[in-house]
Structure 1
Amino acid sequence: MSHDARYIAGLIFKHLEGNISEEESNVLKSWAEESAQNRKFFEELTDEELRKLVQRGAAPEDKILQKIRSGINESVEIARPVHSIPSLTGGRHFLKTTWFKYAAAILLIIGISTYLWNRSTKTEESKTVKTETKKKDILPGGQRALLTLADGSTIILDSAANGQLAIQGNSKIVKLEDGQLIYNSGSISSPFEKGGRGDVRSGETAGGFMNTMSTPRGGQYQLTLSDGTKVWLNAASSITYPTAFTNKAREVSITGEAYFEVTPNKSQPFIVKTIKEEITVLGTSFNINAYPDEPSSKTSLIEGSVMVTTVAPYPPLAGDVSPKAKRGWTLKPGEAFTNNKIIKTDITQDIAWKNGLFNFNDLPFDEAMRQLSRWYDVEIIYDKGIPKKQLKGKMDRNLTLRDALSGLDGIGARFTLEGRVVHVTAIK
């Protein structure tokens, strides 16, 4: 079994830092056991002295790379043929085998060097020797969102200062130090407080002031509503909600994808509306994927209970007065509603995005590419049709696009990055 060099490089550093997961540790162990060279190389790189330095953050990058290169040189020395120039006849298989050993070693040092550089650029952006490489890559998405107030005015949340941003009715809108937005309801002595935009009456509805948070492609954001309900908004998504819940039901509407942790209130059910469905809850955790470019929406229940009601066209049941008569489905934890039916679902996969991961296990190729497209804000073009292969495995959403694609390269496709366009070529 072959492993991507950059991926293995990342696992080695996670091992050195002491934050490698059990699953990742098994992958690294499998790679080390593939050959004597891998085992020797791994042992050279993970001696106790270097490990302690890395964990303390005291290991200079040049020292680490020197250690890596010395390990690779010794590995290549083992792989070097007895004759410096193999014969052209009868030696092709030997040449090919040797070449792959050299290639693996070269790829590994490139991968580890790239990994080191990616780590260093998070705290030091001034390495001019790396500038050109950095420009050619695409960084992952981050906390980016636009808040539209009741009067139509907008606030760019990722660049807004921490603290109170505005007052809407009896709710203060506050941006916390970690970037998330919260609504604090209660009596306000003055409609104009320092740092806020004042109590804007324009845009008020019977249910109070309506606000909308929207994320661009390559953005996500966390929001706490006035009742304490927490919402995580994925890329290219939006949520519209009242600044205070004053009606019999707490109603919000979304597009795209969102994860909810709803504050329980039996006397005031929480209702989420999408284009085709309504999800009614009392207090629970669930995920809704309702992107318009997906073939179907999906509501996944993590805990509690929800009822999904749909008015989308489907064959009527006996007694239905119309093919569009409402019909409801009640979900249990571990179940999802999609394509007008209840299915068992992998909850860890459905909410992987909220936990900073891509989970591509058994996903159709084009569905995985749509996730990458939204997160990295790139266009996907299939040069020879969509590969038929389903993907496997998990991936960190903090990787640059090139590193993410390198982890998928060769799994049914080859990738070429041109600006913000990814060309996908299917391979057999």
Structure 2
Amino acid sequence: MKQELIYQAILSTLAHEATDEEQKIVDGWLRESEENREEYEGMRRMYEKATAPRKPKQFDADRAWKQVADHTIYKKQSWYLSTWVRYAAVVAVVVASGLFFITDWFRADSPDGIDMMAYNEPTLLLEGGDEIDLSGQSFTMKRDQALIKNDADNLLSYEAEGGTDKAKIVHNRLIIPRGKTYRLVLEDGTKVWLNSETELSYPSRFAGTKREVMLLGEAFFEVTPDKERPFYVKANGMDIRVLGTSFNVSAYQDSESTSTTLVEGSVAVSMANGAERTITPSERLAYNKKSHQLSVEKVDTELYTSWINGVYIFKNMPLEEILEKLSRWYDFSVTYQDETLKHTRFSLTADRKTDIDKLLEVINYTSDVKLEKQGKSINVKKQRRIQ
């Protein structure tokens, strides 16, 4: 009997969805040898660990800040389609109802005409038109009453260098293209993680009674508390007001909705239609830009913030949404042979360090969806299984 059929039957058994025939296949395989029984036990333990309810975690920004540097450069790893991969496959994919577990947003111009697709590396745009390629270099410079530092670990930081509130405030832009991420420390000490295909506009130093930045794309903020100067994020139809907190904002121009997920603190959110809402920790607010509908729900914040550690976690999400997010990390386009495949649901944990070819290999090995990669394009179609 083909090993593939056996592991598919084991997968169904662990998910408590096995047919009578699949249960017979598993029972027979277990009777064959002690080695099979030990292997099954290992799969069962992995599955139970992967599907166990997650306990709320205290967000450790310092740990995340250090870890993210390890995920900023693609690193190829050796890959063996052996027992480990079979375990990953079994714990990995339960189409439409289960779990895909393997460790490993804005194809549009900015509102004022900046072509995001014209940039291949993280780039700093200074007021006046100067552009600085930040990739893999370290420098320190003084500009507009600010000391600007960049290091090779993908971290750009600002420090105030004198100046008064009456001095001219200049705005910089940080452009992060597809396939890249970056970190930023603003002049007030606020830390920002920027995801792929993201643009952030911000002043080189804050002055006056408020701190304000503009976001297009996705970013996680750890805001330095300052009751006298609230922090504002303007994000594609959503205005977010905070005093000191940690939260994620997803505001891609080609997405139907803009969302905010709060980890710590409290934020007040105002929408373009005038609606306002305050959310509390572990709540996610989503605003549909077409229907103007507003929704708030309790969530596992790790699902919306894990990307800052170089990991995406998806739970029971349509394949179309998963590939849309991954396409920004790995820089590929997607076509579907059958539109219904877009709605196939997976739960997936994808580590940025895992090569995309290996990720696709495991998906193909463990599901009825076949992803074929040609250059920077992935074609999605249904594959037939040999019975």
* 2:373 counterpart letter in structure 1: L
TM-aligned CA distance change 1:38 to 1:355, over 3 Å: farther
Aligned residue-pair number: 279
Distance 1:244 1:419, change over 3 A: same
Question: Match of 1:154?
Answer: 131
What residue in structure 2 maps to residue 316 of structure 1? none
Distance 2:84 2:345 in 1: 28
Structure 1 residue 365 displacement after superposition? 1.3
Deviation at 1:298, TM superposition (A): 1.1
1:424 paired to 2:385:
no
- 1:413 shift after superposition: 1.2
Q: Which residue of 1 aligns with 2:362?
A: 407
Amino acid in the other structure paired with 1:366: E
Q: In structure 2, what is the equivalent of residue 98 of structure 1?
A: none
In 1, Cα distance between the equivalents of 2:259 and 2:84? 40
1:38–1:144 distance in 2 versus 1, CA, 3 Å? farther
**In structure 1, what is the equivalent of residue 185 of structure 2?**
224
Equivalent residues of 1:366, 1:386 under 8 A apart:
no
Q: Go from structure 1 to structure 2 and tell me whether the alpha carbon gap of 1:284 and 1:412 turns closer, same or farther (over 3 Å shift).
A: farther
1:424 Cα shift?
0.5
* 1:278 corresponding residue in structure 2: 239
What's the counterpart of residue 286 of structure 2?
Answer: 338
After superposition, the C-alpha distances for 1:89-131 in whole angstroms (9 at most, x for unaligned) are xxxxxxxxxxxxxxxxx9428969xxxxxxxxxxxxxxxxxxx
One of 178, 195, 199 as aligned partner of 2:153: 178
Instruction: Classify the secondary structure of the residue corresponding to 1:371.
Output: helix
Higher Cα Rg: structure 1 or 2?
1
7, 10, 13: which one pairs with 1:2? 7
Inter-partner Cα distance in structure 2 for 1:376 and 1:209: 33
**Aligned partner of 1:157: which letter?**
L
In structure 2, the residue matched to 1:319 is none
1:251 aligns with 2:212: yes
- Runs of 4+ displaced beyond 3 Å: 33-42, 109-112
The alignment partner of 1:167 has SS state of strand
CA positional deviation for 1:408: 2.2
How far apart are residue 178 of structure 1 and its match?
2.6
- For residues 276-329 of structure 1, give each alpha carbon's deviation from its aligned partner in whole angstroms, at most 9, with x where no partner exists: 1100000000000111232211100000000110014xxxxxxxxxxxxx2210
Amino acid at match of 1:417: K
Query: Which residue is equivalent to 1:108?
Result: 82
The separation in 2 between residues aligned to 1:308 and 1:153, in whole angstroms, is 34
User: Which structure has the highest strand share of the two?
Assistant: 2
Deviations 1:348-387 (A, max 9, x none): 0001111211212121211101011111100011111142
1:390 to 345, 366, 382: 345
Task: Give the aligned residue type for 1:357.
Answer: V
| Amino acid across the alignment from 1:173 | I
Judge conservation of contact 2:236–2:253 (CA < 8 Å) in 1: no
The residue type paired with residue 332 of structure 1 is: T
Q: Which runs of 5+ in 1 are unaligned?
A: 4-32, 43-64, 66-105, 113-142, 189-204, 313-325
Residue 393 of structure 1, CA deviation: 3.3
Once the two structures are TM-superposed, the CA of residue 274 in structure 1 deviates from its matched residue by 1.4
* Letter of the 1:303 counterpart: E
Q: What TM-score does the superposition give when structure 2 sets the normalisation length?
A: 0.66
| Matched position secondary structure for 1:372 | helix
TM-score if structure 1 supplies the norm length? 0.60
Aligned to 1:163: 139
**SS of residue paired to 1:393:** strand
Give the Cα separation in 2 of the matches to 1:2 and 1:294. 37
Match of 1:187 in 2: 162
Q: Matched residue of 1:240: which SS?
A: strand
Call closer, same or farther: CA 1:206–1:356 in 2, change over 3 Å. same
More RCO (CA 8 Å, sep 6+): 2
CA contact (8 A) 1:257 1:290 kept: yes
C-alpha RMSD of the superposition: 3.1
Amino acid across the alignment from 2:307: W
Identify the residue that residue 50 of structure 2 maps to in structure 1: none
Letter in 2 for 1:172: L
- CA distance, structure 2, for counterparts of residue 363 and residue 345 of structure 1: 14
User: How many angstroms apart in 2 are the aligned matches of 1:329 and 1:109?
Assistant: 50
| Cα separation, partners in 2 of 1:309 and 1:40, compared to 1, 3 Å | closer
Contact persistence 2:189–2:224 (CA under 8 A)? yes
Tell me how far apart the structure 1 counterparts of residues 337 and 168 of structure 2 sit (CA, whole Å): 50
Partner of 2:316: 362
Percent identity between matched residues is 33
For residues 213-245 of structure 1, give each alpha carbon's deviation from its aligned partner in whole angstroms, at most 9, with x where no partner exists.
011110110000000000000000110000000
